[in-house]
């Protein structure tokens, strides 16, 4: 890792200050980059090695007649509803990807001109000729309105060839593209509807876009973006009443919703729906903060056990000496201090679902007891003499590689095979970037309600920073950032960058960590490259980033111990590319110790 650049807030403001917080079709000047010519020049044919590149993204030419055949076959085999959903989501991901590419390639472009590149890109890709009638957006107020004409839509062409003129618009993939593009460009879920379509006999298609919460019956549109019915369609709409938001302790999941439309998120949701009706053991894998517990809870909610208890245990949070009595219960007098008999989590979850988070931190002794409980379907309380039958569906989660733990002799192979019946991998947030605008809006609304604060949106540079950030702490980190932003932002105003990355002087240090991983300082003109592969960090590898941090501290920024600790942990986790075992080694901690400290620091 090269030495992190030292970027002052003033310097950053100079760079990002160019970024206005609004844009519209009036401000389009003929020469403003990126022009159609600029875009055309970013298309490279490389026939010698079988590749086509658009802004560094590999593309492939497809005959429209093949696209037509695919559509027809889908319609015939899975029906119009599911075909429309599938194509809308494919389009969404293409649009969101193009927004990201444009943002990376022209980081300093004026927002209106940058936005206008999307329709040009869509035209360049051969989908449709887009004629913008009007568009305007304001980051600070969170508003958007756009109206476009589509001429000679390729999707309409192939649809009509097979089905003729009908009563419904049919440019599904293209509508998805517009939704994905605009949402990723302005950082807010924006829904488009085709109000006229050549497939309905109009001589061209007409498209209108507004933020999701400004449409009536937006659930209809969201149905096509969400692969599964349990994914929230209300998260973008009218906020819940404050009375419906109880404290996190009482009903920890009641106010949390599954949010996402990206293909990585949808793939995990598909698997969840598959396995939910069965009694199979499910093992969730993925980095810290990707939402394993929420997925486990949703699995329970859509399973036949939903009326029965859902009991969650974080194995890393319970000391080794207590884990056995926590899980299996204890009989009076089993040990000094055991003055009452009490059931363990297994018994309390009877008939329902038991979720064991961070299962990799269980001691070998506890692993043996857990294995026995799973094999025999019965448990014995600590100090007890009789066995108790338990009917529990076990769901486990881990952020470490259990196969590696087995090789290291820290995890029982027989228990692993018992748990690994149906593994579901949850992707890190950086692999589902298309969902970031949705999550930003959702958390803003959610915490605005919770803390009784009215914030209007995010500034352009805040949107840009969030959409480019690496998120080593995944959704939990985004959630914390937005919650902090909601609290720091002025009442009735937008969330700005310093609100997100802490206030005042401290923002400089956080900013600096953002600049280290984000791509705020432009690389205009260069072909975007994939992030460099991290080599396996060696013990002590952290030492070479420490001096820069300490220098920051020496500049009188007055870090608290907690800030210093969280910065060190963040640096180690980033360095280890999310591998917590490796990060712990660098810090001279055990993995459970690291998990504990991370949890502690994440407490508000």
| Strands across the sheet containing 57-59 | 43-46, 51-54, 57-59
Minimum distance of Zn ion from residue 198's CB (angstroms): 5
What is the three-class DSSP state of 424?
Answer: strand
Indicate which single residue of 94, 116, 205, 359 sits in contact with Zn ion (rule: CB under 5 A). Answer: 205
- 10 Cβ partners below 8 Å, 6+ apart? none
- 577 Cβ partners below 8 Å, 6+ apart? 534
CA angle 604, 442, 227 (to 5 degrees): 125
What distance in Å separates the CA atoms of residue 489 and residue 525, rounded to the nearest whole number?
34
Phi-psi label, residue 424: left if phi above 0, alpha if psi -120 to 50, beta otherwise: beta
Q: Which stretch binds Zn ion (CB under 5 A): 151-159, 214-222, 290-298, 344-352?
A: 151-159
Minimum distance of Zn ion from residue 20's CB (angstroms): 32
Indicate which single residue of 96, 156, 184, 259 sits in contact with Zn ion (rule: CB under 5 A). Answer: 156
Q: Cα-atom radius of gyration of the chain, to the nearest Å?
A: 26
Q: How many CA atoms lie within 13 A of 16 on its CB side?
A: 24
Closest by alpha carbon to 100, among 461, 433, 441, 465? 433
Q: Which stretch binds Zn ion (CB under 5 A): 88-96, 111-119, 145-153, 215-223?
A: 145-153
Q: Draw the binding track, 282-311, toward Zn ion (x: CB under 5 A; -: no contact).
A: ------------------------------
Closest by alpha carbon to 459, among 179, 142, 181? 142
Per CB under 5 A, 197 contacts Zn ion: yes
Residue closer to Zn ion, measured from CB, 166 or 333 = 166
What distance in Å separates the CA atoms of residue 186 and residue 467, rounded to the nearest whole number?
10
Residue closer to Zn ion, measured from CB, 156 or 173 = 156
Residue closer to Zn ion, measured from CB, 205 or 486 = 205
Q: Which stretch binds Zn ion (CB under 5 A): 66-74, 112-120, 170-178, 245-253?
A: 170-178
- The count of residues interacting with Zn ion (CB under 5 A) is 5
Structure tokens at 588: 């001279």
Residue 45: its H or E element: strand 43-46
Minimum distance of Zn ion from residue 174's CB (angstroms): 7
Q: Which stretch binds Zn ion (CB under 5 A): 12-20, 128-136, 202-210, 409-417?
A: 202-210
Closest by alpha carbon to 463, among 189, 146, 141, 139? 139
Minimum distance of Zn ion from residue 172's CB (angstroms): 9
What distance in Å separates the CA atoms of residue 351 and residue 391, rounded to the nearest whole number?
5
Minimum distance of Zn ion from residue 301's CB (angstroms): 37
Minimum distance of Zn ion from residue 162's CB (angstroms): 14
Per CB under 5 A, 87 contacts Zn ion: no
Per CB under 5 A, 545 contacts Zn ion: no
Q: Which stretch binds Zn ion (CB under 5 A): 72-80, 165-173, 236-244, 536-544?
A: 165-173
Minimum distance of Zn ion from residue 201's CB (angstroms): 11
Residue closer to Zn ion, measured from CB, 68 or 498 = 68
Residue closer to Zn ion, measured from CB, 205 or 440 = 205
Per CB under 5 A, 171 contacts Zn ion: yes
Closest by alpha carbon to 599, among 488, 476, 513? 476
Per CB under 5 A, 130 contacts Zn ion: no
Instruction: Give contact residues for Zn ion (rule: CB under 5 A).
Output: 153, 156, 171, 197, 205
């Amino acid at each position: 890792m090269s030495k992190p650049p030292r970027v002052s807030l003033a310097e950053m403001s100079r760079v990002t200050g160019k970024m206005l917080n609004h844009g519209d079709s009036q401000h389009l000047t003929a020469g403003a980059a990126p022009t159609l010519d600029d875009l055309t020049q970013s298309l490279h044919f490389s026939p010698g090695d079988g590749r086509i590149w658009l802004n560094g993204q590999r593309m492939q030419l497809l005959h429209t007649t093949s696209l037509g055949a695919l559509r027809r076959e889908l319609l015939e085999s899975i029906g119009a509803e599911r075909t429309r959903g599938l194509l809308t989501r494919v389009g969404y991901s293409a649009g969101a990807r193009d927004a990201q590419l444009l943002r990376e390639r022209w980081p300093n472009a004026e927002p209106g001109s940058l936005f206008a590149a999307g329709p040009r890109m869509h035209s360049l890709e051969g989908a449709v000729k887009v004629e913008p009638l009007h568009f305007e957006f304001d980051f600070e107020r969170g508003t958007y309105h756009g109206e476009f004409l589509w001429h000679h839509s390729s999707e309409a062409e192939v649809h009509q060839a097979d089905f003729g003129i009908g009563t419904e618009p049919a440019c599904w993939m293209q509508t998805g593209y517009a939704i994905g593009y605009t949402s990723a460009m302005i950082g807010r879920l924006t829904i488009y509807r085709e109000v006229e379509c050549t497939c309905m006999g109009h001589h061209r298609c007409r498209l209108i876009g507004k933020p999701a919460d400004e449409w009536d019956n937006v659930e209809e549109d969201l149905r096509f973006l969400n692969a599964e019915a349990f994914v929230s369609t209300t998260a973008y709409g009218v906020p819940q009443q404050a009375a419906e938001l109880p404290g996190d302790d009482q009903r920890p999941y009641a106010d949390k919703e599954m949010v996402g439309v990206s293909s990585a998120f949808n793939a995990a949701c598909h698997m969840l729906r598959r396995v939910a009706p069965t009694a199979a053991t499910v093992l969730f894998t993925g980095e810290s903060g990707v939402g394993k517990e929420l997925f486990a809870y949703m699995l329970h909610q859509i399973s036949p056990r939903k009326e029965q208890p859902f009991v969650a245990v974080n194995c890393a949070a319970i000391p080794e000496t207590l884990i056995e009595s926590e899980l299996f219960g204890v009989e009076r007098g089993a040990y000094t201090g055991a003055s009452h008999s009490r059931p363990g989590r297994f018994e309390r979850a009877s008939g329902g679902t038991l979720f064991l988070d961070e299962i990799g931190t269980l001691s070998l002794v506890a692993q043996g007891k857990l294995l026995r409980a799973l094999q025999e379907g019965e448990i014995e309380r600590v100090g007890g003499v009789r066995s108790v039958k338990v009917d529990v569906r076990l769901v486990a989660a881990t952020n470490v590689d259990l196969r590696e733990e087995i090789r290291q002799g820290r995890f029982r192979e027989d228990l692993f095979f018992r748990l690994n019946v149906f593994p579901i991998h949850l992707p890190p947030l950086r692999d589902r970037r298309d969902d970031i605008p949705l999550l930003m809006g959702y958390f803003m609304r959610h915490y605005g309600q919770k803390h009784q604060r009215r914030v209007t949106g995010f500034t352009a540079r805040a949107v840009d920073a969030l959409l480019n950030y690496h998120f080593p702490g995944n959704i939990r980190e985004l959630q914390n950032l937005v919650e902090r932003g909601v609290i720091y932002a002025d009442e009735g105003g937008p969330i700005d960058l310093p609100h997100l990355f802490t206030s005042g002087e401290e923002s400089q240090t956080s900013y600096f960590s953002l600049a280290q991983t984000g791509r705020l300082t432009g690389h205009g003109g260069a072909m975007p490259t994939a992030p460099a592969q991290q080599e396996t960090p060696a013990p002590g590898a952290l030492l070479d980033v420490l001096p820069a941090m300490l220098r920051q501290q020496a500049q009188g920024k007055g870090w608290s111990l907690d800030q210093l600790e969280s910065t060190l942990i963040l640096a180690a986790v980033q360095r280890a590319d999310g591998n917590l075992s490796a990060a712990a080694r660098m810090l001279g901690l055990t993995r459970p110790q690291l998990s504990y400290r991370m949890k502690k620091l994440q407490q508000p």
